[in-house]
Structure 1
């Protein structure tokens, strides 16, 4: 059974009739109403039971317990505290003059020893009610937070389930196509029915188709990686690597896109760079993503500068453009999952998130510096091969 709380009520479980006047004086100007559980009834078991029943029914903001003795105070506090409908109502004990105010009374919020002073009583009443309201607000906020967390967990789990189902259903046929393409390019026979027509296809066409299939497979794998649990590390396969060679390959592969965007790219690469230790396929995806983002989020004709240099026992890669720039507040959340730039025309917002996870798995972190109308610069460091200690190599 539940009762509607009336926060404007103060319940006086009364033993001493003189306490009534003090309580009325203390509540003047507070907007609180006083409800009294009989005069003198609080001193007897029937009076205690009546006071507890009235407290359960009224659900007051505060109980003033005018106890005849410390024994009565202790017993009544224990009963109020153990009752399911009154256990969280604050209790202000009003004790006889001979009582010890420092004694502990389980269930009581505070205690005053007679004689009572109006201002002191009013101050204690206000304080205890304010504390209860604050506690209730905190409990309500905690409840809302818990509900929000549960809803988010459910939504996250549902998203994980959907992503894995979709990725699985997409990945299997793409893997099949990739196998057929590779067999054709290697000159291996592909089974066919005797009555089927054979269609001659130029090798260059097959190569473009194979590259397209590979891109689709990489996108599906990226989707799976991006939606892995946050505490799961990406699988990387580090090996000694010439980062300058990888950068040049990526720039060559992106040449058609650079021409389409009418972009100009400058390379500033130190000579005789030492080897780094990294996963070439993972790092290729990072380099491609950073360069493609610079083209995708800027108007045609943008100028890109790619730099590779050795510094502080590492090799630093950076890509800088002279485009429209990124607002500072957006830079701070750029690497979050499903975060997209204001000028993004397409994409799911997982590219930079995944890039950051890859570089963190290599023991580093992507940094960004930008401001509107002043271009943007992205960079990261990779430790040298002999000193590299990748932060995460999951199996």
Structure 2
């Protein structure tokens, strides 16, 4: 028995590298990185993170979250029809064509696959080379999809909460009053590889109680499926970490509610449809609520009279090594008060070998940071500000 499970585990893992979504997500993450760097260079003439940043975020945390979901799904014996895997991949490709990365969230890809699966089974649809993909479906396996969707949404919320605020990208834009202001943007892709049980195969139930929700199948196979998790948020009225984590917590709550409702689908099938509909609508409401809420707040990153607001920090720059943070305000440089870039750099030139900054932190507390400057250090300390009015046209264009 153990040897059979190990064999299926290795085979299922190998199937990941035959799944087109695996390579497609790598490609999309690369595209996101390149487009972000181009925009940052247009705004600031320098990039913040390198073009591989999004690619580096694609796997590590997603693999850990996927492993946890896999353990829960396999322990409960959640069996997913192969048709759902195919349709989820198909909708991942389709929604990516809209260029809206947020539509690659599980609520939209697996949610659409669920409804398409029901219609396809009723209408007797067929795909090339897979003519019996939908005709062989058993309606009893439908409730498992909402349960998996709920787990994926909880995983999505955890990724947003833990990783979404890292490396947010500063951006310049025009306010409704025509002034240049700063915002932060997150466009992120994660991959959630999850081991799924598919009907048919070599695995036999190891315990009498497994699977918890029986579908009449006596054998199963394992398949490591890469699910996409897309996330896009623009932050203008809050600190980036605060705004992103707020969305992450709400997504986790949505996943938990969806999970509770989806369990009832094993006894009342109509609740499976309600659970998926709730997931899709709830994810839209979270996005819309965040957008409307931020639009009613004043811009956090705007020009101030009592100092210079830090919009971005270049990694490994002197500013980064001085532990300066996005959202803090520089009020004095080498003892001189500053309220624009010109006065900032003039005060910085006062002592080319050393700089001392008076900073107002995000809690309104004054602190002092200082550092010796060495040859080869970034000539502007690595701090990004909202540009002066005379720079607006070239910065925002």
TM-score normalized by the length of structure 2: 0.18
**CA radius of gyration, larger in:** 1
TM-score normalized by the length of structure 1: 0.18
Which has the higher relative contact order, 1 or 2, with Cα contacts under 8 A spaced 6 or more apart? 2
